Structure 1
Amino acid sequence: MVISSFREPLSGWIDNVSGPTGALVGGGVGLIRTLNIDRDCTAEMIPADLTINALISTAWDIANNKNADDEPPIYNYHSSWTNRLTWGKYVELAFKHGKKLPSMQSLWCYSMTETKYIYFHYFLILVLHMLPAIIIDTALLVTGKKAKLLKMYKKIHKYMRVTAYFSTKNWNFRNNNVLKLWDKLSEEDKEIFFFSMKDFDWDTYMNICVHGIRRFIFKDTLDTIPKAKKRMSRLVILHKSIKYAVFALFLWGLYLIFYYALSMSSNSSYSLFSESITVR
C-alpha cells in the first residue's frame, strides 16, 4: 500500500485519505476509535516516492537486460527488507507523533481500540461510533442544524472494511530481483533514485507522515500547533471525565442489580421459613 512521500516532491506529501492514511486522518480528528487489525501482522506500506524510484530503476534494468531471459522478470517491491513494521507499531508511532502535532480540525482526542476479532470490532463500532453519532446527530436536528455524523461514518466504515482485508493477514513476498537491482545501481544513482528499505527508520518516517497529513490534508500551519495542543488538552480532560462517568454509572448499575437480586433472595428465604413454621 502506497502512502505519504519520504523525500520528494516534499516530505510527507499526500493528496488522499484512502487506505492506511485514512486511519491516521480519522484517528487524528477523533472520529475513528476502533480498528480491525492484527497487531502482529506486517503492515506492507511503501512511501510513494520510493515506489516511483524503484519503478524507474526497473525500467533501466530491463533495458540493460532485455535479451537476457525468455521470461520477463518479476520485481516485488515491498517494505519488509530488514526492519519489519507491524500494524500495532504503525498505530503506536502514529499516535506518538500525532499527539505531539494535533490538528485544529480535531473533533475529539486520540482514542483507539484495536482488535483482530471482527464481531468484537462490530460491537465497538456500535458503541464507539454509531451510538455517539446518533446522539450528536439528534442534538443537531433538535437545534435546527443538519445531521452529518452518521453519513460520515457510513463512508468511513466502507474504507475500513477494505483495509481490514490487508491488516488482518500476513503477506509473504520474494524480492530477490529488487535486492539485486539495488546492488546494481551506482552510488550516484542510489542517491538520485533511492528506494532501499534496508534498516528503514519507521519512527522518523511516521513523524514525516503526521507532519504531511497536518499540512496537506488538514491545511494546518505550524504556528497553530500551540493552540491545537491546548485545545487537545481540553478534549482529553472531557474524554476522561465522560469515560469515568460512564464507568461509574456501569458500576452503580451492577450494584443495583446485585442489591435487588440479594433482596429478592432474602425475601424468598424468609417466606419459605415462615411457611415452614406455619405448617409445623
Structure 2
Amino acid sequence: MDGRWTRSMDLDSDVNNLANDGLGIDRSSVPGFYSGKTIFVTGATGFVGKVLIEKLLRSCPDIGVIYILIRPKKSQNIEERKQELMKCKLFDKLRKEQPNFERKLQAIEGDIVLPELGLSEKNKQLLIEKINVVFHSAATVRFDEHLRTAVELNVLPVRKIIQLCRQFKSLMVLVHVSTAYANCDRPYIEESIYEPHVQPQKLIDSLQWMDNDMVEAVTPKLLGNKPNTYTFTKQLAEAMLKTEGAGLPIAVVRPSIVGAAWKEPVQGWIDNSNGPSGLCIAAGKGLLRSMKGDFKAVADIIPVDIPVNMMITVAWYTACFKPKQTLVYNCTTGAVNPITWGDLQEKVMDFFKKTPLDACFRRPNTSFTCNEMMHDYWVFVSHMLPAYVADAGYRLIGRKPRMVKVYNKLHRSMESLSYFTSHSWEWTNGNHDLLKSRLSEVDRKMFFFDPRQIHWPTYIEDFCYGAKHYVLNEDESGLPAARAHLKKLRNIRYMFNTCIAVVFWRVLIARSQIARNVWNLILSLVFKFVRYFKITSTIQKP
C-alpha cells in the first residue's frame, strides 16, 4: 500500500475496559500508571531528555526510579554530569516542590555507540530485573553528520535497545523518539512507518568494508531526495524498529522542529542554539541579514513540552491498552495551527528591536528570499563584506579576527536549514487525536499536547526571551546599554548611507549638467529652509 507498511485502522478494538490488572497497571490516570514504575531513559542530557525527566518527576510524584544512561567525559564522571544536569534552571520549580527529587534519579554508565550500550554486567542485570518503561531519545541532531557516524548514532543504537528490551522481565513499553522529517521526501506524511529504499542491514554491512572516502562518494545516491543524513538515518531507525522490534510494545513519537518551552516548567526555556534558536540569536545580533527560504512556507515548530507530554501519555496508552500494531504519532503544528517563516521572521525582528541583545554586530534586519542569486548577493554584501571589514579593524587594534569564522559557521547552519525553510508538508494526526480522547480531563490539562491552543505572537516573544536569557545568559539589567548600542548602530548606518549618497551624487555631478542642476536646487532649498527657520526663531523670541 503506497510503499509503506500497514497499521491497524481500528484502534478502538485494542482498548481493554479493565481499570487495573494483575501487573498493577492503573489505567485510570497517567500519574497513577507511573506510580512505582521504573524508567530507563537514553539521551537524558539532551534538550528533550531533560524536559522529559523534569516532567515525569514533577507530574508523577509517586514514580519509582528513573535510570538515565550517561556517557562519562574526560573531565567528568557520570555522577558529576548528573549533578551538573540537576543544577539546570529547568529543575528550579521541581526543586521547590520536591527537594529530594534527586533520590529518584540514578545515573547508569554507558554509551550508545558501544556494544550492549557499554553497560557493565551488574548494571545490565539491574535493568533487566527492574525496568518497566523505556524512552529512547538519544541521537545526533547534526544534519551534516558523516553517514557512518549518523548510522552509528541513530540506527545501530536502536538495535541495541531492542536486544536489551527483549531481556527485560517486566517491560511494558518502549517509546522511540523519531522526527516528523524522517519521510520529508514526501509532501503528505501519514502516521505510518514507510519502507525505506535502502534496507538498514544492507547499509550497515556496506559500511563495514567501505572507507570514509567511498562512503562520502555514495552518500548522495543513498540519500535520494532526502536533504541530509539525519532524516535518512531516522527513517532507517524506524524501519529497524518495525522489523527487529516485532512483538515488543513499541510506539514512535515524531516531533517536528523542537523549540523552546510553551508553558512549563519555564515559559521560553531553551538550552541550546541549534536550529531555529541559533537563527533567532544570529538575527537578533544583526549577523543574519538574508536567509534562503520561502516566507510563505510553514514553519513547523513544536514547543518542547508538547512532544514530552505526548511521550509520557503514549507510554501510558501503549502499556495499558496494548495496540496490536506499532503506533506512530506525528507531533506537528502545521496542519492544525500553522505559522509561516515570514510571520515568524517579522515577530522575531519586532521583539529584538524592542528588546535587543547585548553587543549587537548590526541592527536586526533579516529577510527570506527564494531567489538564490539574490540570496548570494546579499550574503556577499551584507555578510561577508562587513565581516572582512570588522576583521581588518580587529587586526588594527591588535585583536584576533573572528567575524569571517563566525559567518562561515552561520552559513553552514543556514545551508542545513534551507531545505526546511523552503518546503511545506502535510501530516496526518489521527493517532494524536485518539490519544487525546482517551485521557481524562485532568490528565488532558496536566499533560497537554494539543498545539491548536498556541498563540504564536506570545510564544515567539517567549522563545526570543528564552534565547536571550537562558542561552546567552543576558538579563534585564543590560537592556538600557543594549538599546543605547542599538541607537548608536542606527546613527552609524544613517551616516554611512548619507556619505554613500553624497559620494554617488558628486560623481554624477562631475559628469552631468542635469545632475549638477538638481544638486544645486537641493542645496538652495536646504539653505532657504534653514534661513526661514532662523528668522522664525528670532521673531518668536520675546
Q: Which secondary structure state, in structure 2, belongs to the residue aligned with residue 240 of structure 1? A: helix
Indicate which of 439, 444, 448 corresponds to 1:185: 439
Q: Which runs of 5+ in 1 are unaligned?
A: 261-280
1:32 match: 288
In 2: Cα distance, 1:174 partner to 1:153 partner = 38
Amino acid at match of 2:260: S
> How big is the alpha-carbon RMSD for the aligned residues of Structure 1 and Structure 2?
2.1
Bigger shift: residues 23-32 or 116-125: 116-125
Q: Which secondary structure state, in structure 2, belongs to the residue aligned with residue 76 of structure 1? A: strand
Amino acid at match of 1:183: S
1:44 match: 300
- Higher helix content, 1 or 2: 1
In 2: Cα distance, 1:174 partner to 1:250 partner = 56
Shift of 1:242: 2.2
In 1: Cα distance, 2:362 partner to 2:274 partner = 21
Shift of 1:182: 1.7
Q: Is the 8 A contact 1:103 1:214 kept in 2?
A: yes
Q: Is the 8 A contact 2:270 2:466 kept in 1?
A: yes
Q: Deviations over 1:100-145 (max 9, x none)?
A: 2112232221112320122221111111000111111112223322
Shift of 1:37: 1.7
In 2: Cα distance, 1:247 partner to 1:35 partner = 27
- Higher strand content, 1 or 2: 2
In 1: Cα distance, 2:498 partner to 2:423 partner = 35
TM-score by length of 2: 0.45
Shift of 1:230: 2.4
Q: Is the 8 A contact 2:297 2:340 kept in 1?
A: yes
Task: Determine whether 1:12 maps to 2:265.
Answer: no
Indicate which of 463, 470, 477 corresponds to 1:216: 470
Task: Determine whether 1:75 maps to 2:329.
Answer: yes
In 2: Cα distance, 1:99 partner to 1:203 partner = 15
Task: Determine whether 1:101 maps to 2:355.
Answer: yes
Distance change >3 Å, CA 86–CA 188, structure 1 → 2:
same
Q: Is the 8 A contact 2:285 2:363 kept in 1?
A: yes
In 2: Cα distance, 1:105 partner to 1:54 partner = 39
2:390 match: 136
In 1: Cα distance, 2:339 partner to 2:320 partner = 33
1:267 match: none
2:489 match: 235
Bigger shift: residues 35-44 or 73-82: 73-82
In 2: Cα distance, 1:21 partner to 1:121 partner = 21
Q: Which secondary structure state, in structure 1, belongs to the residue aligned with residue 343 of structure 2? A: helix
Q: Which secondary structure state, in structure 2, belongs to the residue aligned with residue 12 of structure 1? A: coil
1:263 match: none
2:248 match: none
Q: Which runs of 5+ in 2 are unaligned?
A: 1-256, 514-542
Shift of 1:80: 2.3
Shift of 1:17: 0.9
Report 1 or 2 for greater relative contact order, CA contacts < 8 Å, sequence distance ≥ 6: 1
Q: Is the 8 A contact 2:292 2:375 kept in 1?
A: yes
Alignment of 1:55-204 (within 5 A): 55-66=311-322, 68-69=323-324, 71-204=325-458
Shift of 1:240: 3.1
In 1: Cα distance, 2:377 partner to 2:263 partner = 40
* Larger Rg over CA atoms: 2
Distance change >3 Å, CA 241–CA 37, structure 1 → 2:
farther
Shift of 1:59: 1.4
Shift of 1:247: 4.8
In 1: Cα distance, 2:320 partner to 2:271 partner = 34
Length, aligned pairs only: 258
Shift of 1:256: 6.4
Q: Deviations over 1:3-42 (max 9, x none)?
A: 1111223211111111111111001111111111211000
Q: Is the 8 A contact 2:268 2:463 kept in 1?
A: yes
Q: Is the 8 A contact 2:306 2:449 kept in 1?
A: yes
Alignment of 1:234-253 (within 5 A): 234-250=488-504
Q: Deviations over 1:176-216 (max 9, x none)?
A: 11122122221211221111111420011011111111111
Alignment of 1:260-275 (within 5 A): none
Bigger shift: residues 169-178 or 107-116: 107-116
In 2: Cα distance, 1:250 partner to 1:60 partner = 69
